[in-house]
Amino acid sequence: MPHPIMFDEADPLLRRLRALALAFPDAAEKVSHGRPAFYTTKVFAYYGGSVKVDGVHRQHEQSVLVLVDPDERAALSDEHRCFVPAYLGASGWIGVDLTGDTDWDEVDELLDASYRRTAGARRVALLDSQRSRT
């Protein structure tokens, strides 16, 4: 049985995140476990997540999950807008809640860091080439 869809296609925060994520070389989108996932060979970002507290999942529907280096994850985990997502948190992922006041330059930096950890050397070199031209 497939997972139910857990996002609204008309969500303006998803639209903004999608534009950033799909700008990375060879990036594509799929629905994984009911949520948008952005990937090349491996997923580098998810839209939406949850936290499991006392056996109950608390949803963070408008958030981005990324895989950043351990030092950056430690720094982010001290912020109230960040959370360690259920399931993926054990593998080093962090969630960041998105709002109308989100710093989208920071989101782009987080996506960049996650992309670099998952995309492979050829794609990272392509990204560096593209970003040096702008």
**Helix, strand or coil for residue 72?**
helix
pLDDT at res. 112: 98
Contact assessment for residue 63 and residue 95, using Cβ atoms and an 8 Å cutoff: yes
pLDDT digits (tens, 9 = 90+) for 27-63: 999 999 999 999 999 999 999 999 998 999 999 999 9
The torsion angles phi and psi of 88, rounded to 5 degrees, stand at: -80, -25
Nearest to 66 by CA among 30, 97, 41, 99: 97
Q: Map out the domains of the chain with their CATH numbers.
A: 12-124 (3.90.1150.30)
Q: Which residues is 60 bridged to in the sheet? A: 49
